[in-house]
Structure 1
Amino acid sequence: MTVLILTGQEDVTADMVVMHLNAASVPVVRLDPADLTAGAALSGEYVHGSFHGHLSTGGRLVSIHGLRSIWVRRPGVPAARAAQPSAWLTEEASQALYGMLRGCTARWMNHPDAARRARHKPWQLRLAQRSGLPVPATLITTFPQAAREFAERFPDLVVKPVSGAHPQEPPRAVPTSRVAPDTDFSAVAYGPTLLQRRIAKRADIRLTAVGGTLMAARKETPADADPDEVDVRFATSDVPWRPAEVPPRVAAAVHTYLREAELAYGAFDFAEDADGTWWFLECNQSGQFGFIEVETGQPLARTIAEWLARPAPRDHEQTDGRRTVTP
């Protein structure tokens, strides 16, 4: 049976996983939904109570019922490279592709429905609380007065986007920034604003979860670090990421989070304070892992490949593609 990876051909992080699948002689097909009608094709037939579907890309034809797992890695916008792309064609291609794939018994990393829900940061924060993870005091608001009162209660704040990258072309990451003490907050009325108590961190933590396997990496904050550099993605520090042990209570809470979120993969970001507490910041359901593997040597790509290579569930074991969160 075949592993289907939905991503672009230029995705070098996916290459790391493909290498391990090839080494294990596991058939793998890589398809970018952006290529539909322009190098990639699909077909599905629903006749006499049965379904038969096929995908074609790069000269290869694969049966949808012959898929053991589907890795939704970094798929392009469906039919974006069509001869005459349009919003209508994108919606048609999206419903055709993902609708057919939802009908098979393959294991998902991650199921599109679970992934869509997991992107919502307010939902993440509440699930993290319910799962037992410490969450910094947070306010999401369009009320300027609420922001002012929150700043009085928690004078040291950061501001970050609610949704993530700014939707320009190409998308631009918006850094988490420290809030100036004299901020007026009037502009809060023009759009939802996420304010969060700043954690005086001694390290950043990236915990990568693959099924039931958890691997954490730690990046220590230098003693002379600029206190205004609160976003590790944009910090000037050259301190490397190093492997770290996952505290048992954190591990238990992360497993609960993954189970409730119905995720097979998650990249968790934490801030470690002076007491050693790991404060939950977010969980990216499709977060990058290549840079962590390169710096720490942790076998993340191999672990993902092993999860993808497992057999698909039998029909009677799975009626909903989201039931794929297994160790």
Structure 2
Amino acid sequence: MTVLILTCEEDVTADMVVVHLNASGMPVVRLDPADLTVSAGLSGEFAHGSFRGHLAAGGRLVNLAALRSVWVRRPGGAASGAVHPSPWLAEESSQALYGMLRGSGARWMNDPDAAHRARHKPWQLRLAQRCGLPVPPTLITTFPGAAREFAGRYPDLVVKPVSGAHPQDPPRAVPTSRVPPGADFSAVAHGPTLLQRRVVKRADIRLTAVGKRLLAARKAVLSPGDPEEVDVRFAASREPWRRTAVPRYVADGVRAYLREARLAYGAFDFAEDGEGTWWFLECNQSGQFGFVEVDTGQPIARSIAEWLSRPGAEQPVAAPRTRTTAC
């Protein structure tokens, strides 16, 4: 059996997992879908009621029937590195690759359809609410009047992008920023704006979920209550990440979230307030974990490798809905 990792060539996070896969003797193949039609290829035959498929990547030919799992890490766009790339070729290549992989019987971390849905921030916030995770009061709107009314109820606000990416520079992160007192909000009419009550935090929390395993790390805020200490990604703090225990209500909520979202992996961000409450901010279905593992020594990469290697590892299935029970 073989583990297939779909990611770009320069992915240090994937390298950390490959080390453990190699050490365990599990065959592993890396494929960047961007390389299709150049240095990677595929073939699938549907005949006599059966399917035979193969992938060529990294000088190896892989039988799709021999795939144990597929880790969708940071893949490039299908055939985007082709000699003559085009939207048509990209769609054809994506349909061929992911369509064949879906028929292979391999387990996914994470299923592409589930991962695509899980990217949407409004969907995340509502799911977190249903699963019992505290969510700060949040408004997403294009109505300036609604933004002014919301600011009247919650004067201490932050603003962040709905998607997390800047339209002119998708690879760059846009920092969460405070909304100044007396903001006009007229610009809200030009695009959906996400406003959220600022959590006066004493720590940032990164919880990495691998299957049923939860590994949480805490980064203390050196100046609790500092109104400028908003986005941990851009804070100039030298405070390291440290291991921390996961409160029972958070563990229950995160596991319910993963089941409902059909995710095998999730990187959850929380803000811990002065009373110790963990406020849900977002879940990145393919979030980085290397920086946490380096600081804390938590075995995140090994846990992912074990999940990918394990025969019959659990595949998330959404719990059935009832009228009286949420997640």
Q: TM-score range by the shorter chain?
A: over 0.9
Residue 251 (1) aligns with residue 239 (2): no
**1:208–1:289 Cα contact (<8 Å) kept:** yes
- 1:145 matched to which residue of 2? 145
Residue 213 (1) aligns with residue 213 (2): yes
1:302 match: secondary structure: helix
- Higher mean alpha-carbon deviation, 273-282 vs 165-174, is at 165-174
What do the CA deviations read for 1:183-218 (whole angstroms, capped 9, x no partner)? 100000010000000000000000000000000000
Alpha-carbon distance between aligned partners in 1 of 2:224 and 2:205, rounded to the nearest angstrom:
19
User: Equivalent pairs: percent with the same residue?
Assistant: 74
**2:79–2:89 Cα contact (<8 Å) kept:** yes
- 2:194 matched to which residue of 1? 194
Q: One-letter code of the match for 2:160? A: K
Give the drift of 1:229.
2.9
- 2:69 matched to which residue of 1? 69
Alpha-carbon distance between aligned partners in 2 of 1:258 and 1:37, rounded to the nearest angstrom:
35
Q: One-letter code of the match for 1:146? A: A
2:139 match: secondary structure: strand
Alpha-carbon distance between aligned partners in 2 of 1:324 and 1:260, rounded to the nearest angstrom:
4
What do the CA deviations read for 1:45-71 (whole angstroms, capped 9, x no partner)? 111111111000111000111100000
Q: One-letter code of the match for 2:264? A: A
Alpha-carbon distance between aligned partners in 2 of 1:17 and 1:249, rounded to the nearest angstrom:
30
Alpha-carbon distance between aligned partners in 2 of 1:324 and 1:289, rounded to the nearest angstrom:
25
Alpha-carbon distance between aligned partners in 2 of 1:224 and 1:125, rounded to the nearest angstrom:
25
Change (3 A) 1:167 1:60: farther
**1:111–1:322 Cα contact (<8 Å) kept:** no
**1:54–1:62 Cα contact (<8 Å) kept:** yes
Q: One-letter code of the match for 2:256? A: T
Give the drift of 1:168.
3.8
1:163 match: secondary structure: coil
Give the drift of 1:172.
1.2
- 2:231 matched to which residue of 1? 231
Alpha-carbon distance between aligned partners in 1 of 2:236 and 2:67, rounded to the nearest angstrom:
44
**1:125–1:135 Cα contact (<8 Å) kept:** yes
**1:204–1:232 Cα contact (<8 Å) kept:** yes
**2:201–2:224 Cα contact (<8 Å) kept:** no
- 2:160 matched to which residue of 1? 160
**2:207–2:267 Cα contact (<8 Å) kept:** yes
* Structure 1: gaps of 5 or more residues: none
Change (3 A) 1:224 1:254: closer
Q: One-letter code of the match for 1:5? A: I
- 1:281 matched to which residue of 2? 281
**What does 1:92-107 align with in structure 2 at a 5 Å threshold?**
92-107=92-107
TM-score, structure 2 as length reference: 0.95
**2:134–2:280 Cα contact (<8 Å) kept:** yes
Give the drift of 1:238.
0.8
Alpha-carbon distance between aligned partners in 2 of 1:323 and 1:35, rounded to the nearest angstrom:
32
**1:106–1:312 Cα contact (<8 Å) kept:** no
Q: One-letter code of the match for 2:249? A: R
Q: One-letter code of the match for 2:228? A: D
Alpha-carbon distance between aligned partners in 1 of 2:188 and 2:72, rounded to the nearest angstrom:
35
**2:56–2:62 Cα contact (<8 Å) kept:** yes
- 1:87 matched to which residue of 2? 87
Q: One-letter code of the match for 1:189? A: A
Equivalent pairs counted in the alignment come to 319
**1:263–1:324 Cα contact (<8 Å) kept:** no
Give the drift of 1:312.
5.0
- Higher mean alpha-carbon deviation, 246-255 vs 223-232, is at 223-232
